[in-house]
Amino acid sequence: MNRRPSARSSVGVLAAAFALLLLAAGCTTEHKASTASEPLRAPKEFSYGADGVTHADLRASLTHVSVGNERYTSLVFNDDYNAPLIRTRPGGVMSIRLDNGMDEKTNLHFHGMTVSPLEAGDNIFRETLPHQVGVYNLKLPPDHSPGAYWYHSHFHGGSQRQVEAGIAGPILVDGMLDPFPELKGIQERVLALRNFQKTATGKVASEIITSAASIRTVNGQEQPIIEIQPGETQLWHLLNISANQYFRVRVKGQPVQILSQDGNTVNQEVMTDEMLIGPSARVSVLVVGPQAGDHAVELGSGNTGPAGDQYKGAQLAVLRSSGAPVSTRRIASAYPQLEDLSKEPVARTRQFAFEDSPTDGNAFLINGRRFDYGRVNTTVKLGDLEEWRLYNPSQELHQFHIHQTDFQVTQINDKPVPFIGYRDNVYIPATGSITVRIPFRDPTMLGKFVYHCHILEHEDGGMMQVVQVVKPEDYEQALKLEPLGGIYGENQLCSYLKNTGEDLKVPYPSSWPTGGAP
């Protein structure tokens, strides 16, 4: 069994780095004029039946919605800024119908999930044209990690605006509490964090400016009331589904226990006073009801560097503790034993520079290149463990994310990082570096996908590249085909190229969107 460190010790290095590298000017908050808060609303939910299949119908459209306490015209799913939750389970299937009622193209990415990128899977090379329908069928491996994930537009050149507007929503893979029977039955809450830029027109902004005045919401609400009893233990899934903003969240006056990061359960007790939740990140925490009364859930101010964004703090929600005190539930079971990838040999080491263009303020580069749909930048053999050193010579943070797999952060600015679990995104400090170990082992990921900065302004500006994971016997051919898009094309299954991967068993035949591929 792993040693349980004292509170905050296991994340001390990371927490210190967060505070330092965000250059945050304290945790001051800007309190808006008092409004009548309402209880937190849970999102509407698509869930699975006995067959393990979740059917979800998502209609994207431009419509009038409530964003916090104000009315806006925005792009949303199912006529609600509080997007529906898709619930699934390890070994389950998500069968999703994307009805694009917008006057612009779109698509979907299932962030953090280890599912196939091929055909009608998590294939960001597909796009659904305006007023057309796309179908997604995704089968989760039986050992898929339970936790919080999300779905969102990954249409290159338009993802920032669409995600900021509301084309994004939460996913839960059930089973996170299974290793801890002593927590069975505790209340779980989904808290989807968003940042919506205010406009004078009452419509979603055509050009997003992260530092501009904005509305910070939880499940589409401003400062909702979250009910709890004194001593009660609740599990909160906090998901940053905004386009660009970092959320520094704290429950004023008390620590919380981190149970999972990016859908990956940690391997030991981890306590913290504040959570830095970068764009696309998720944190699942155990919160204990404080003494009776109202307690602020706060968002600290942020500064992502001289060339980055600055934003003021705010109050996100109210934690209302009331009723009779109850016994606190605490973890007594062993934490999952995880493979420490820093102790394993690597097949290859690569280096990537995430950099702002010196000549074009709207261009962002990886190793001097902007994103190109038509080429593959990196070819990896299935089964390999690789080490990637990610450098950031620019004067602002960049947020690294890779599709289809997780990774382990081993170093920040060449200093070792304590191993508490895996991630699928992490920020690269301004003028600094990150070292990660990435396992390309699960055959589910055979295909072509991307790694990029998850500040979506930077992704849309070109800070994204393509990786193909191939069987070892296909490696030489795949290298030769890199300039032509690799062996998977637009991720079609192809028996001629023998790139079929695993047999995908889904309840309905896979199909391309009616509007076709780009």
pLDDT band, residue 512 (cuts 50/70/90) = very low
Question: Where does the pLDDT of residue 490 fall: very low under 50, low under 70, confident under 90, or very high at 90 and above?
Answer: confident
Residue carrying the six token digits 């890779």: 402
pLDDT 10s digits, 417-455: 999 999 999 999 999 999 999 999 999 999 999 999 999
How much is the pLDDT for 179?
A: 97
Q: Going by C-beta distance under 8 Å and a sequence separation of 6 or more, which residues neighbour residue 411?
A: 417, 433, 434, 435
Q: Is the pLDDT of residue 33 over 80?
A: no
Residue 309 has pLDDT above 90, yes or no: no
Q: What is the pLDDT of residue 5?
A: 33
CB 394 within 8 A of CB 307: yes
CA 512 – CA 506 distance, rounded (Å): 14
Dihedral sign (CA 212, 397, 246, 158): positive
pTM of the model: 0.91
Q: Which residues of 98-128 are buried (b: 16+ CB within 10 A; e: fewer)?
A: bbbebeebbbbbbbbbbbbbbbbbbbbbbbb
Beta strands across the sheet bearing 93-100: 70-77, 53-67, 93-100, 133-139
Least confident segment among 228-242, 245-259, 273-287, 486-500 = 486-500
Residue 212: the pLDDT is 86
Residue 404 has pLDDT above 50, yes or no: yes
Using 50, 70 and 90 to split pLDDT, how confident is the model at 36? Answer: low
* Tens-place pLDDT, residues 275-304: 999 999 999 999 999 999 999 999 998 888
Q: What angle do CA 251, 253, 259 make, to 5 degrees?
A: 45
Over residues 161-198, the pLDDT tens digits come to 999 999 999 999 999 999 999 999 999 999 999 999 99
Residue 4 pLDDT more than 70?
no
| Matching residue, tokens 């699928």 | 424
34, exposed or middle or buried, with CB in 10 Å at 0-12, 13-18, 19+? exposed
- pLDDT average, residue stretch 304-329: 93
Mean pLDDT value across residues 316-331 = 97
Rounded to whole angstroms, the Cα distance separating 31 from 63 reads 29
Residue type present at position 480: K
pLDDT interval class at 493 (50, 70, 90): low
Mean pLDDT of 482-499: 75
Burial 471-481 (b: 16+ CB within 10 A, else e): beebbeebeeb
